[in-house]
Structure 1
Amino acid sequence: MDLLIILTYVALAWSVFKIFKIPVNKWTLPTAALGGVILVGGLILLMNYNHPYTSLAQKAVIAIPITPQVTGVVKRVTEKQNQPIKKGEMLFELDNTRFQARVDRLEADLVTAVHNIRSIRGQLEEAIANTSYVSAERDRLLQDYQRYLKGSKAKVNPFSERDIDNARQNFLGQDALVKSSVAEQAQIKSQLESVVNGEQSQIVSLRAQLAEARYNLEQTVVRAPGDGYVTQVLIRPGTYAAALPLRPVMIFIPAQKRQIIAQFRENSLLRLEAGDLAEAVFNALPGQVFEGRLVTVLPVIPGGSYQAQGTLQSLNNVNAANGVLAIIELKANPEVDALPDGISGQVAIYSDHFSHVSVMRKVLLRMTSWMHYLYLDH
């Protein structure tokens, strides 16, 4: 852009010399050259300082890598690739035979567990009745044993030692049956009293497993997380898709407000303020200029970010990476929306300082846009 200003001045000076027939000598030529250096240099310094420009700009979007939540073989893939797609539409489907089988098995196990609980309640009632029966029998045998003991203390003992011993053994055996029945009853009660949130723990566990299995079954159909489009679809029916976060199978671009990310020189921070007027031009749209506003300047420079490593970290001060990133929001325009995401362009920011100099920047930006007809690289 500086070259455009210099060439413009040279053209004007040449025109002045020709129109006014100014002789070219040792006074006029150095005066024109020196005047040009002062004038053009001053204008360039004022313009660059107060109205920053960058050729490093992109139409940027946030992309969502799509990774399946479960692992399986791809059964179907959407045909809407690089086309608008609605939230909830199918992106791809995995073979669900294994997941459906697990759901069916857990549903059967849950039904069995519910019936088992009913059966256990019946067993408890039976154990309670049995405890009552053996307890009554024990009490009867205890009375018999006490009667035998009382008779053995009489002057004339009508019972033999064997009768007394048999009565004692019968009582002790029945007492053991009572204790066994009580223990069985307590064991059954413990199973029924294992409750979580008012429901038997085994059933709660099966319901949780069934809910997880149903969730995994639903995840065999991967759906669009929102309105947008899907691109770089790298799977086909028969592909083995793994639930690994580092192995996405496609990229989803959600519908979002179109923004421009531009990288400016670090000293441009002196004049970059949120809300400043901005203009952008794109290589793909020669001769057109699009207005917008500077939204914010990112608080970090990519080259200055570090991560913990096993070795000492050196400076990431690479000249090509030096620069502050700014987000520019353009006014709604169907031509900009139709551009491929990630396309490059050039951006100028107009501050409130020396606003009359911004006219020159605007002219130069439009000249840059016209030069895009020539397929020149910037």
Structure 2
Amino acid sequence: MIVVLLNVYLAVLFCLVKFRIVPFNLFWKVSPVLVLLLLLVGLFIPMGWGAPQGTALTVRNSVAIVPDVSGEVIEVPVIANTTLKEGDVLFRIDPVPFKAKVDALQAQLDLAQLRLSETTRLKETGAGRAFDAEQSQAEVNQLQAQLVGAKWDLDKTIVRAPADGYVTNLALRKGARVSSLPVAPVMAFIDTTDTIIGVEVPQINARYIEVGQPVEATFKYMPGKVYPGKVEGVLQAVSAGQARVSGTAVTPDSIQSAPMVVRIKLDDAEFARKLPAGSVGTAAIFTDHVGAAHVIRKVLLRQVAITNYLNPF
């Protein structure tokens, strides 16, 4: 862009000299250099913090699906990379042993309740002890609690989608045995209810960024188009500044200026929802400073959007 502006100035200067509007003296000969320095110092360098630009990355929350009960899988109705709604069935575990436990506890509870009614009647007539009635009540309470847990286990034999999204890299099949151990997830569920778009901005350009400022972004997934949005927040930490719990003394690392991450939200919610996880692009944030540079940044961003047709990197 600075080359374009400088060439425009040279063309205007040529016309002024050609038609003898200005004399071609030493000042006008060195004026292109002065204009170049003026553009650099007065516009393009301040544009870095007035309208910072950085690489954008689309991220989605991934949920490791671990069943709450162990058993043999009898059905996997889900199809990989197919849109699912919250509550849709992912897979089913054989419910027979869990149903048998519920039936057994229900039978014990019925008997305990019958015994409780008998001991209570005997106590009221003076023919029985109060302790026997209290013991029967405790047994009923215990069985009721066990029955609630057994029914919960039975219900968890049907594993459902935790949110709107899709399952990716699906390898689970009927006949596989799954475990409730948290270290053994059986599938990865991608949550599409919230689209996270982060923009990397160099630290020297991040000082004027605030929540609510306008944003424009273009993605290689959709070349040639620019999408408006707003700043949702500025992440207040990067891994280089994180103190980890350890039993050793501080181990010095080479200190580098890691970029800050700014989270943005696109105005087009439907397009944001369709963005695949891992989609990359370029985004520009328009702060309240160096307003004259905003137009140039918009032009530069649209140049990037057009070159996305050709540039795969």
TM over 0.5: yes
RMSD (Å), alpha carbons: 3.2
Q: Which moved more, 1:359-368 or 1:301-310?
A: 301-310
Q: 1: distance between equivalents of 2:292 and 2:51?
A: 11
Equivalence for 2:263 = 327
Deviation digits for residues 250-272 of structure 1, max 9, x if unmatched? 23333424342112112223210
Q: 2: distance between equivalents of 1:369 and 1:341?
A: 19
Alignment match of 1:307 (pick from 240, 244, 248): 244
What's the % identity of the aligned pairs?
A: 30
Query: How far did residue 328 of structure 1 move?
Result: 0.8
Q: Using a 3 Å threshold, how does the CA distance of structure 1 residues 117 and 333 change in structure 2: closer, same or farther?
A: closer
Q: Using a 3 Å threshold, how does the CA distance of structure 1 residues 247 and 313 change in structure 2: closer, same or farther?
A: farther
Q: Using a 3 Å threshold, how does the CA distance of structure 1 residues 218 and 376 change in structure 2: closer, same or farther?
A: closer
Equivalence for 2:178 = 241
Give 1:2-151 correspondences, 5 Å limit: 5-9=1-5, 11-12=7-8, 32-33=32-33, 35-55=35-55, 57-118=56-117, 120=119, 128=127
Q: Using a 3 Å threshold, how does the CA distance of structure 1 residues 105 and 318 change in structure 2: closer, same or farther?
A: farther
Equivalence for 1:368 = 304
- Secondary structure of the residue aligned to 1:214 is helix
1:341 equivalenced with 2:272 (yes/no): no
Give 1:170-319 correspondences, 5 Å limit: 188-194=129-135, 200-314=137-251, 319=256
- Secondary structure of the residue aligned to 1:289 is strand
The alignment of Structure 1 onto Structure 2 pairs a total of residues equal to 308
Q: 2: distance between equivalents of 1:333 and 1:255?
A: 11
Structure 2 unaligned blocks of 5 or more: 19-25
Query: How far did residue 361 of structure 1 move?
Result: 0.7
Q: 2: distance between equivalents of 1:89 and 1:312?
A: 50
Q: 2: distance between equivalents of 1:96 and 1:319?
A: 55
Q: Which moved more, 1:311-320 or 1:58-67?
A: 311-320
Q: Using a 3 Å threshold, how does the CA distance of structure 1 residues 243 and 258 change in structure 2: closer, same or farther?
A: same
Q: 2: distance between equivalents of 1:306 and 1:246?
A: 26
Q: 2: distance between equivalents of 1:329 and 1:316?
A: 34
- Secondary structure of the residue aligned to 1:211 is helix
Q: Using a 3 Å threshold, how does the CA distance of structure 1 residues 110 and 374 change in structure 2: closer, same or farther?
A: same
Equivalence for 1:160 = none
Q: Using a 3 Å threshold, how does the CA distance of structure 1 residues 115 and 54 change in structure 2: closer, same or farther?
A: same
Q: Using a 3 Å threshold, how does the CA distance of structure 1 residues 52 and 273 change in structure 2: closer, same or farther?
A: same
Q: 1: distance between equivalents of 2:223 and 2:62?
A: 27
Amino acid at match of 1:43: L
Q: 1: distance between equivalents of 2:253 and 2:183?
A: 25
Query: How far did residue 338 of structure 1 move?
Result: 2.6
Q: 2: distance between equivalents of 1:227 and 1:237?
A: 24
Query: How far did residue 285 of structure 1 move?
Result: 1.4
8 Å CA contact 2:84, 2:164 repeated in 1: yes
Q: Using a 3 Å threshold, how does the CA distance of structure 1 residues 98 and 318 change in structure 2: closer, same or farther?
A: farther
Q: Using a 3 Å threshold, how does the CA distance of structure 1 residues 116 and 316 change in structure 2: closer, same or farther?
A: farther
Query: How far did residue 327 of structure 1 move?
Result: 1.3
Q: 2: distance between equivalents of 1:354 and 1:215?
A: 61
8 Å CA contact 2:73, 2:93 repeated in 1: yes
Higher helix proportion (structure 1 or 2): 1
Amino acid at match of 1:213: A
8 Å CA contact 1:286, 1:373 repeated in 2: yes
Q: 1: distance between equivalents of 2:256 and 2:170?
A: 36
Q: Which moved more, 1:335-344 or 1:236-245?
A: 335-344
Q: 2: distance between equivalents of 1:127 and 1:352?
A: 87
8 Å CA contact 1:292, 1:330 repeated in 2: yes
Q: 2: distance between equivalents of 1:236 and 1:316?
A: 46
Q: 2: distance between equivalents of 1:78 and 1:262?
A: 38
Q: Using a 3 Å threshold, how does the CA distance of structure 1 residues 337 and 118 change in structure 2: closer, same or farther?
A: closer
Query: How far did residue 208 of structure 1 move?
Result: 0.5
8 Å CA contact 2:6, 2:32 repeated in 1: no
Deviation digits for residues 45-103 of structure 1, max 9, x if unmatched? 12112111112x11233333221111122221123432222222211111122212211
8 Å CA contact 2:195, 2:273 repeated in 1: yes
Structure 1 unaligned blocks of 5 or more: 129-184
Query: How far did residue 226 of structure 1 move?
Result: 3.0
